[in-house]
Amino acid sequence: MPQFPSEQLLTFATVLSEGTLDAAARLLHITPSAVSQRLKALEQSAGRVLLQRSNPAQPTEAGEVVLRLARQVAQLEADAGRELGLGSDGAQLAVPIVVNADSLAVWFLQALSQIPVDLNVTFDLHRDDEQHSTSLLRSGTVMAAVTATPEPVQGCRVESLGVMRYLAVAAPHFVDRWFPGLPDGLEAKVLNAAPTVDFDRKDTYQWAFVQSRSRTGGEPLPVRKGPRHYVPASQDFGDAIRLGLGWGLIPEVQCGPDIADGRLIELAPERPFDVPLYWQRWRTASRVLDVLSETVRNVSGQYLRKP
């Protein structure tokens, strides 16, 4: 059974979080040569290459397994130190989490703000589409994730948070130009031809909404035809729609006031677009993850609909 000294695991995780051996050396207050020696010893223990010496450094497939171990060891050591009353030097545990942009904008920061100060943790937030976020759990990059995937990643537990409801909306002048038939009906082919605002190239929600309209009308639409704008920031995404660049799906809690005062028009009031969200976290026993999970559960319940 290979032995992995904690200082080697810490060094390996630091290189991957900082991106280079030199940056890791500065953070750990050791020389780059010492970093290299620790990595070499770790790879000898594992019997395989763990690190791609790229810029930034990336783990190999085997390295992802060791990275997950390194983060778990760091978490367990931090929890043990707290229980023993140690850690008075001010060292903090960094908790990496992956969150989708809309949750980050609507409610997730509210949850983090309620984490007790005495936990002495910092948060390293990664933003990724909720359909793709579990890959960061598998690689060991993050300890927890807000995701749309209900199947637990190996070594993780999962629980339902609720449903994020989206509404298809557009600015009034955009509706006048592209959807003059509203409110009598919205044909899928007309929706598909109009300019669309997508968050990024992973964002499939607008196309899924078009397809749902197509299925309702019995009219298959094999390809997307309309021009698309990519706006990869939650607030700016909504602003682009409010300014009339295109139509798109905005979380109900963000666009509800605009619909009420007429700044946005809901394109299909009878058909909201619901996205179930889940919380996945490592199974490792940890007070930090337990408190974080409880807080996420409570705060998300104030913003998300029940499934």
Tens of pLDDT, residues 50-69: 999 888 888 998 998 898 88
Among the candidates 39, 70, 85, a domain finishes at 85
Average pLDDT over residues 255-260: 97
- Do 81 and 168 share a domain, yes or no? no
Among the candidates 23, 52, 85, a domain finishes at 85
Q: Is residue 53 part of a domain?
A: yes
Task: Concatenate the DSSP letters of all residues of 99-124 into one string.
Answer: E-HHHIIIIIHHHHHTS-GGG-EEEE
Q: Is residue 235 part of a domain?
A: yes
- Do 80 and 172 share a domain, yes or no? no
Q: Is residue 208 part of a domain?
A: yes
Amino acid 216: pLDDT: 59
Answer yes or no: is pLDDT of 272 > 80. yes
Residue 12 belongs to domain with CATH number: 1.10.10.10
Q: Is residue 98 part of a domain?
A: no
Amino acid 155: pLDDT: 86
Task: Concatenate the DSSP letters of all residues of 27-46 into one string.
Answer: HHTS-HHHHHHHHHHHHHHH
Q: Is residue 301 part of a domain?
A: no
Q: How confident is the model at residue 76 (pLDDT cuts 50, 70, 90)?
A: confident
Q: Is 192 helix (H, G, I), strand (E, B) or coil?
A: helix
With 0-12 / 13-18 / 19 or more C-beta atoms within 10 angstroms meaning exposed / middle / buried, residue 298 is exposed
Containing structural domain, residue 51: 1-85
Among the candidates 66, 85, 104, a domain finishes at 85
Amino acid 286: pLDDT: 85
**Angle of CA points 228, 304, 253, to nearest 5°:** 55
Distance CA 299, CA 280 (A): 16
Strand partners, 274: 165
The secondary structure of residue 247, as a DSSP letter, is B
Q: Is residue 227 part of a domain?
A: yes
Q: What is the pTM of this model?
A: 0.81
Residue with tokens 């104030």, as numbered in its chain: 302
For residue 257, give the amino acid letter. Answer: P
Q: Is residue 159 part of a domain?
A: no
Q: How confident is the model at residue 29 (pLDDT cuts 50, 70, 90)?
A: very high
**Number of domains within the chain:** 2
Amino acid 220: pLDDT: 66
Q: Is residue 287 part of a domain?
A: no
Average pLDDT over residues 87-104: 79
Residue 214 belongs to domain with CATH number: 3.40.190.10
